[in-house]
Structure 1
Amino acid sequence: MAGSRATPTPPADGLLPVFLTRGKAPAAALLAREGTSTRYAEAGPGIARSDHFRAGSITKTFLATVVLQLASEHRLSLSDPVERHLPGLVRGAGNDGRALTLRSLLTHTSGLYDYTRDTEGLVPVTAVEAVRIALTHPPADRGRFAYSNTNYVLLGRVVEQVTGRSYASEAERRIIAPLGLTGTSFPGSRTSLPSPHGRAYDTDGTDVTTLDPRTAGAAGELVTTLADLDRFYAALLSGELLTSHRLREMLDTRTAHGLYGMGLFPVTLPCGVTVWGHNGRIAGSYVRTAATVDGRRVLTFRVNTTALADPGLEPALLAAEFCPRSS
């Protein structure tokens, strides 16, 4: 009688140890989802499936979803000038909120300077302080894609002005609670991570597990889990959170010249498959979620350090997961 055949390791899972060697990450993990099935893999010590971690700019997808829901409710329009909701705030060094729309903030085509270049993502600031830092610099070419955290800090303020509640409260009410994302939160000024969690390290090995998330605010303060991110992106892309019209707007990259939609960006892999999602980088954590456009297949991976030493590992992992394999 023939012996049983070992189940082969999926190609993406097999790449995780390389994130430690070539990527110089202390540990790495991924959670893949297809329909209702999930697959978890990890490499390195001190990392677990249930860990809470900081998700950085993945916060932007949550915030963009809230803004698009408000647009569906006719509480704002994407063509509104920023000035309509935040009168007098965006003025200085050639910047003018009267000439910028909410759409330009969502698509990173406002030309506003990224305030984190000056704070280096380490200095806690209020939203108004972040905007004031940005406004000491002249704008880049308006209408050209230029990623700037300032755009989403302003959108957080817009949500607050329109609803009378914080962007965190609106995201909790509209996304986190309905989807049952029990591991996801907006920590505000809380510097500790919820349990369970591992340690987080900067690229020089410094332990940065304790961090004031006000360094990122509406542009990147989110704390979450692998399972919650897979659930969120699957729900978003399958149409659970937005009308079909608003989801098409979110995926429309023409304003940003093919580089960015609204809180989402596409990556076309070598095999021709295009995946949608976002990445997030904050001190001690790098996270990436990618999904098929229908949300049926999703992959989230994370490392417990600020950046991968070899940036080519991320596209290699996505190709290993999403490109068809011959049997």
Structure 2
Amino acid sequence: MPPIRTLPAVPVAVALLALCPAASSAPSVPATDAVLPLLVTRGGAPAAALLAHEETGTRYDGAGRGIARADRFRAGSITKTFLATVVLQLAAQHRLSLSDTVERHLPGVVRGAGNDGRALTLRALLTHTSGLYDFTRDTGGVVPVSPRQALHIALTHPPADRGRFAYSNTNYVLLGLVVEQVTGRSYAAEAERRIIAPLGLTGTSFPGFRATLPSPHGHAYDADGTDVTDLDPRVAGAAGELVTTLADLDRFYAALLGGELLPARALREMLDTRAAHGAYGMGLFPARLPCGVTVWGHNGRITGSYVRTAATVDGRRVLTFRVNTTSIADPGLEPRLLAAEFCPRTP
């Protein structure tokens, strides 16, 4: 979150990908192993790595020094895909409805400065169309806060226009509280029970307030080179606290898009971007590449870590890449790397 910003990273990524040239003018596409080193030489990262999952197997590549294939790292807003999956599972089990108001589950919690939980649905939170102010704009994404403190910050600001897409970490902090209210367990416990354990994601965890990373892990650096490996995850909470690995993210998105975690109807709803006018589904967003291929996934930015997962809509091909710093200096490299993986190359 800022400098790490978990949320704003999403719309930025969407906008950057939208700047790719049209398919008709696209040049021949380089291989990923040609683009990845550019994240170090032009992107300013100490190190970068990717893991691609394809029908023929997996492929790992690294550049620079300081990242190993099995490392645990902070995944920022990719947490949102996990949380959205839990909410959609609860909806499929009729334990809540996406048309429920926030007020129904958290009475009196969303009030102030024109904000009103009686007028907001869970669907609006999932799709970032609630208009709720992003609390990390005030904390800079570096101040640890409880969920209630995050909400207090957000609710001192008037909402933006409801029904318009506006990425806000506050939406997913609220969803974390809804999950706890509905199930009697934390969102982290529900994600562990419903996703992490069934899929065998042994490198994935919700650290809560633990500032250290589990082993094995490398170091993480802010843009100025400061070592920020230790970080209180409460700067992001339900909007971005996840710790994971390259392999676990590939496995998770392959399983999700492959229909292992949600019934077909719920998965279609997750991929429906109409509420956000094409920008976002529910914990996932599409990116159309220069060759015309559309991939689905999410990115995550938190101090010392930037990660991006993208997959084909059937989950059969997945790419996750990461750098061990807060952001990529050359934003054009992300769409280039995705195109290198998912667009056919000219011989």
Q: What TM-score do the two structures reach when normalised by structure 1?
A: 0.96
After TM superposition, the structure 1 = structure 2 runs for residues 40-51 of structure 1, keeping only pairs within 5 Å, are 40-51=60-71
Q: From the CA coordinates, give the structure whose radius of gyration is larger.
A: 1
- Give the alignment partner of residue 72 of structure 1, picking from 81, 84, 92: 92
Please name the residue that 2:281 is paired with.
Answer: 261
Following superposition, the deviation at residue 325 of structure 1 comes to 1.5
Following superposition, the deviation at residue 35 of structure 1 comes to 2.5
Please name the residue that 1:243 is paired with.
Answer: 263
Q: Distance in 2 between matches of 1:152 and 1:273?
A: 29
CA offsets 1:42-75 (integer angstroms, 9 cap, x no match): 0011111000000000000000000000000000
Percent identity of paired positions between Structure 1 and Structure 2: 83
Please name the residue that 1:104 is paired with.
Answer: 124
Q: Distance in 1 between matches of 2:303 and 2:88?
A: 29
Matching residue's letter, 2:74: R
1:231 aligns with 2:213: no
Aligned residue for 1:218, secondary structure, equals helix
- Give the alignment partner of residue 291 of structure 1, picking from 305, 311, 319: 311
Aligned pair count reads: 318
Please name the residue that 2:169 is paired with.
Answer: 149
Matching residue's letter, 2:88: L
Please name the residue that 1:5 is paired with.
Answer: none
Q: Using CA pairs under 8 Å that are at least 6 residues apart, name the structure with larger relative contact order, 1 or 2.
A: 2
Matching residue's letter, 1:321: E
Q: Distance in 2 between matches of 1:26 and 1:97?
A: 44
1:199 aligns with 2:219: yes
Following superposition, the deviation at residue 189 of structure 1 comes to 0.4
Q: Distance in 1 between matches of 2:225 and 2:199?
A: 36
After TM superposition, the structure 1 = structure 2 runs for residues 55-204 of structure 1, keeping only pairs within 5 Å, are 55-204=75-224
Aligned residue for 2:217, secondary structure, equals coil
Q: Distance in 1 between matches of 2:243 and 2:105?
A: 28
Q: Distance in 2 between matches of 1:181 and 1:20?
A: 28
- Give the alignment partner of residue 297 of structure 2, picking from 269, 274, 277: 277
Structure 2 residue runs of 5 or longer lacking an equivalent are: 1-29
Matching residue's letter, 2:308: R
Following superposition, the deviation at residue 36 of structure 1 comes to 5.7
Root mean square deviation, CA, Å: 0.7
Following superposition, the deviation at residue 326 of structure 1 comes to 2.9
CA offsets 1:238-272 (integer angstroms, 9 cap, x no match): 00000000000000000000000000000000100
Matching residue's letter, 2:68: A
Q: Distance in 2 between matches of 1:35 and 1:277?
A: 18
Please, which moves more after superposition, 304-313 or 12-21? 12-21
Please name the residue that 2:272 is paired with.
Answer: 252
